[in-house]
Amino acid sequence: MAPKTITLKDVAAVANVSRATAARALNSYGYVGEEAAARVLEAAEKLGYRGNRVAQALRHGQLPIIGFVPGDIQNPFFARIAHDLDVELRKHRYNLLIASSEEDVDQEKALLDNLRALNIRGFILAPTSGDDNQHIARLAKDGAPIVLIDRVAKDIQCDSILVDNEGGAKEAVDYLIANGHRRIAILQDDSRIFTAQERFAGYTKSLQEHGITVDKNLISVSRSTVKHAVDATIRLFSRRDRPTALFTVDSLMTQGALLGLRTMGLSVPRDVSLVGFDDFDLATFTDPQITVVAQPISRIGPLAAELILERIKGSQAAPRNTTFPTKLIIRGSVSNPQI
Amino acid sequence: MAPKTITLKDVAAVANVSRATAARALNSYGYVGEEAAARVLEAAEKLGYRGNRVAQALRHGQLPIIGFVPGDIQNPFFARIAHDLDVELRKHRYNLLIASSEEDVDQEKALLDNLRALNIRGFILAPTSGDDNQHIARLAKDGAPIVLIDRVAKDIQCDSILVDNEGGAKEAVDYLIANGHRRIAILQDDSRIFTAQERFAGYTKSLQEHGITVDKNLISVSRSTVKHAVDATIRLFSRRDRPTALFTVDSLMTQGALLGLRTMGLSVPRDVSLVGFDDFDLATFTDPQITVVAQPISRIGPLAAELILERIKGSQAAPRNTTFPTKLIIRGSVSNPQI
DNA sequence: TTTGCGTATGAGATCGATCTCACTTTTCGC
DNA sequence: GCGAAAAGTGAGATCGATCTCATACGCAAA
């Protein structure tokens, strides 16, 4: 069926030189006669020689691939970063292999094992778990280039790029409190996830600083999808003395909360005030527009690419940890609570 | 630095057998003595032997990777499909390599060349161009497993999965006309893209069937991002006798149109009626909820995975072309035009 | 005792590209 | 015009896993 692939040997045969000479001509190194080189290039062109990355990789040790393991490729936050990474890395002739962990540590472990066996050049990870990450530690210790984004894993020595989750969350809740709210709920994803932990910490810190007791009943955990968030929101607001305000920890959950509240006939901000973490396109279309804690998302991908490329080049510098500040964007989803 | 990788040779040495025997024990084929096998497995375990996919791939010819080339990974439509593909393919021990073409034919060509050189097992493509696709034809002719999704490329013999773009678009425009609209604008992406062509065809077909002349001034082309769509919308509706209705060809553009109209102070559906192609999460939150042509998106990824796996297994069956029907979901973004 | 088969193992070839090394031919300086 | 350096080339080794083939042993049937 498939006309067998063209190998260097074929090219060499047509050009009437040895494989060694053909390789020299194609990769322009060492001594090659002009005439011979021309013949080789012509032959390669004519045959459509493409080279075999796998064989090259076996020789050099590694494939020109960088692995990206986000928590969930469907989250626009990660999709955007994937896109930015792809653009940057392609400039340097690397391919991006995206393998989502689906926020499952076991899957993450399996994936890393897998990618490792593929001999890829480096890893850009958003670790699912803040605690369980022996596997990442091992990877780092073996000297693999790694950049962690969005989340860090404890006790791992490697480059990382974060945003100020705790500060951002605290600012959001501070703002709600400043508007007179005291019964403030939080809708968060799996508490194993680092960002969830940090954003939750910001939430509790703000409450405590204002002398408000943290009420377990106001804490809702759900998977980070619009659907799950809708359900969680409905549960949260079905209680008798429901919260007057809600803080959501990512954009999918913010959207879910909006849909959930609408389903229940609750109006934002008249009945419930809302602040979300992570900005999203439609935040300014909804009525009212949604107040959010924005992350400098456009800077994460490019920086991650830069860091990983340096590591691949062999940089032995101390781990660089960047934390970007967040920014509270005040729109119209917060008002004073009704008494 | 990195403790060098464990090879089969190392395992064999520790187990005190030859490489051949070690391989037999690890992959359980041929004759191996029980005792020797046990020693090999133990040694592999102890050393943390992982195998080298690259070397295996060189031997077998191919990497356990399937390439996915969407038009744009940031479009939720493709992100969802990527996710579904990933889940399905992982079950069969394949990795998914996502490389977005950014709707650029040259980039698409370069990517395919690249992936080809990587000796991956198959390709799942959403071709950027409806016309310029010699590169895909060549790939198909060389017998590579290919599944085209969302868009087909002319004259290419391979499996494909589409939705009824023309029918869906026509239904949408028919609906607008039935509500009394005659000045109906369309906001579409690059007309080189297959889906854009088909959806545009549905648009013109509907107009023509109702005896309405297609007005060039009502046709706006923009890149498929929320930002570009906002600008295009504003341009479209800044005209003196502006359209009374708008049909947008994908969800990002629908969102852009919503934002653009809001910016201009135009109300949906009072001033402008709107129907979008492709449903999206927030379509039911906005006020009013948006009427859309929904695609059976959850069926595309799994089917594509199934098809590609069969091709990889060696199926020589005639190309299977599936076209899923679309469904007009009527919500509240269409009303009668003001005179 | 010999033939023969099932079991068990290792030596070596193979996949494709690259690199080292050895060898030949040309060129140039003195 | 002679030797040394430079230029050009090919044979063969290498990367790691796998597969073929040859070999060797044990045991049973002839």
- Helix, strand, or coil (residue B292): strand
B263/chain A closest Cα distance in angstroms? 9
- Mark the nucleotides of strand C covered by protein, meaning any atom under 7 Å from a CB: 7-20
A76–B contact, CB cutoff 8 A: yes
Q: Are residues A115 and A146 in the same domain?
A: yes
Q: Are B108 and B80 in contact (CB under 8 A)?
A: no
Count the neighbouring beta carbons within 10 Å of the beta carbon of residue B200.
22
Binary contact (A50, B281; C-beta < 8 A): no
A282/chain B closest Cα distance in angstroms? 7
Distance CA(B198)–CA(A181), nearest Å, equals 52
Nucleotide whose C1' lies closest to the alpha carbon of residue B21: C9
Binary contact (B117, A52; C-beta < 8 A): yes
Would you say residue B329 lies in a domain? no
Residue with tokens 């990660």: A78
A322 φ, ψ (degrees, to nearest 5): -105, 135
A174–B contact, CB cutoff 8 A: no
Would you say residue A329 lies in a domain? no
B284–A contact, CB cutoff 8 A: yes
B144–A contact, CB cutoff 8 A: yes
Distance CA(A162)–CA(A178), nearest Å, equals 27
Structural element, H or E, at residue A63: strand A63-69
B9 φ, ψ (degrees, to nearest 5): -60, -45
Q: Are residues B302 and B157 in the same domain?
A: yes
Cα atoms in the 13 Å half-sphere on the side-chain side of B277: 29
Binary contact (A282, B284; C-beta < 8 A): no
Q: Are residues A237 and A275 in the same domain?
A: yes
Which chain B residue is nearest to residue A1, measuring alpha carbons?
A: B143
Q: Are A40 and A25 in contact (CB under 8 A)?
A: yes
Q: Are A120 and A306 in contact (CB under 8 A)?
A: no
Would you say residue B339 lies in a domain? no
Distance CA(A33)–CA(A25), nearest Å, equals 9
Would you say residue B332 lies in a domain? no
Q: Which domain holds residue B40?
A: 8-51
Residues 3-62 of A with CB under 7 A from strand C: 4-5, 7-9, 19-20, 23, 26-27, 29-30, 49, 51-52, 55-56, 58-60
Of B1, B118, B284, the CB nearest to A143: B1
> What's the CATH code of the domain at B181?
3.40.50.2300
pLDDT tens string, chain A, 339 residues long: the values are: 345 689 999 999 999 999 999 999 999 888 999 999 999 999 999 998 988 999 999 988 888 999 999 998 888 899 999 999 999 999 998 988 888 888 889 989 988 988 888 889 999 999 998 888 889 998 888 888 999 999 988 788 899 999 999 999 999 999 999 999 999 999 999 888 899 999 999 999 999 999 999 999 999 999 998 889 999 999 999 988 899 999 999 999 999 999 899 889 999 899 999 999 999 988 887 778 999 999 999 999 999 999 999 999 888 899 999 999 999 999 999 999 876
Interface test with B, best of A1, A47, A53 (most B CBs within 10 A): A53
Would you say residue B13 lies in a domain? yes
Nucleotide whose C1' lies closest to the alpha carbon of residue A37: D8
**What are the structure tokens assigned to B330, written together?**
């009527």
What are the chain B neighbours of A26 within 8 Å (beta carbons)? Answer: none
For chain A, report the end-to-end CA distance as a whole number of angstroms.
76
pLDDT at A316: 87
The pLDDT mean for chain A works out to 91
Q: Are A69 and A111 in contact (CB under 8 A)?
A: yes
Binary contact (A80, B74; C-beta < 8 A): yes
Q: Are B206 and B200 in contact (CB under 8 A)?
A: no
The residue whose CA lies nearest the C1' of nucleotide D6 is A31
- Helix, strand, or coil (residue A274): strand
Residues 6+ apart with CB under 8 A from A103: A71, A72, A128, A189, A190, A193, A223, A224
CA–C1' gap, A2 and C11, in angstroms:
33
pLDDT at B13: 93
pLDDT at A1: 38
B210/chain A closest Cα distance in angstroms? 33
pLDDT at B290: 94
Q: Are residues B133 and B155 in the same domain?
A: yes
Residue with tokens 């809600």: A246
Q: Are residues A180 and A270 in the same domain?
A: yes
Helices of type H across B133-241: 134-141, 165-178, 194-209, 226-237
B143–A contact, CB cutoff 8 A: yes
Interface test with A, best of B1, B69, B73 (most A CBs within 10 A): B73
Which chain A residue is nearest to residue B120, measuring alpha carbons?
A: A54
Q: Which of residues 42-61 of B touch A (CB under 8 A)?
A: 50-55, 57-58
pLDDT at B29: 87
Residue A124: C-alpha distances to residues A67, A69, A160, B178, B279 (Å): 6, 6, 9, 52, 32
Residue A28: C-alpha distances to residues A13, A32, A64, A313 (Å): 19, 8, 20, 22
Q: Are residues A278 and A202 in the same domain?
A: yes
Q: Are residues B236 and B268 in the same domain?
A: yes
pLDDT tens string, chain B, 339 residues long: the values are: 345 689 999 999 999 999 999 999 999 888 988 999 999 999 999 998 988 999 999 988 888 999 999 998 888 899 999 999 999 999 998 988 888 888 889 989 988 988 888 889 999 999 998 888 889 998 888 888 999 999 988 788 899 999 999 999 999 999 999 999 999 999 999 888 899 999 999 999 999 999 999 999 999 999 998 889 999 999 999 988 899 999 999 999 999 999 899 889 999 899 999 999 999 988 887 778 999 999 999 999 999 999 999 999 888 899 999 999 999 999 999 999 876
Would you say residue A336 lies in a domain? no
- Neighbour order of strands in the sheet with B273-277: B219-221, B184-188, B245-248, B273-277, B291-294, B327-329
Domain count for chain B: 3
Q: Are residues A186 and A119 in the same domain?
A: no
Residue with tokens 């497993």: B145
Q: Are residues B95 and B204 in the same domain?
A: no
Which chain B residue is nearest to residue A258, measuring alpha carbons?
A: B285
Q: At what angle do helices A251-263 and A76-91 cross, to 10 degrees?
A: 150
A259–B contact, CB cutoff 8 A: yes
Distance CA(A53)–CA(B117), nearest Å, equals 6
**Spatial CA neighbour of A252 closest among A272, A233, A239:** A233
- Helix, strand, or coil (residue A112): helix
Residue with tokens 């050049």: A121
Would you say residue A338 lies in a domain? no
CA–C1' gap, A33 and C11, in angstroms:
40
Residue-wise pLDDT for A17-38, tens only, equals 999 999 999 998 889 999 999 9
Q: Are B269 and B332 in contact (CB under 8 A)?
A: yes
pLDDT at A203: 97
Q: Are residues B169 and B265 in the same domain?
A: yes
pLDDT at B143: 84
Nucleotide whose C1' lies closest to the alpha carbon of residue A119: D16
Residues 55-114 of A with CB under 7 A from strand C: 55-56, 58-60
Distance CA(A259)–CA(A255), nearest Å, equals 6
Would you say residue A217 lies in a domain? yes
- Helix, strand, or coil (residue A221): strand
Binary contact (B76, A74; C-beta < 8 A): yes
Structural element, H or E, at residue B107: helix B105-117
B74–A contact, CB cutoff 8 A: yes
Of B57, B117, B285, the CB nearest to A51: B117
Q: Cα dihedral sign for A176, A178, A180, A182?
A: positive
Q: Are residues B107 and B189 in the same domain?
A: no
A38–B contact, CB cutoff 8 A: no
Q: Are residues B302 and B270 in the same domain?
A: no
Interface test with B, best of A50, A54, A248 (most B CBs within 10 A): A54
Amino acid identity of residue B197, one-letter, is Q
**Spatial CA neighbour of A128 closest among A197, A77, A81, A80:** A197
CA–C1' gap, B54 and C12, in angstroms:
21
Binary contact (A285, B258; C-beta < 8 A): yes
B97–A contact, CB cutoff 8 A: yes
Q: What is the total residue count of chain A? A: 339
For chain B, report the end-to-end CA distance as a whole number of angstroms.
77
pLDDT at B1: 38
What are the chain A neighbours of B54 within 8 Å (beta carbons)? Answer: 54, 57-58, 63, 118-119
pLDDT at A5: 82
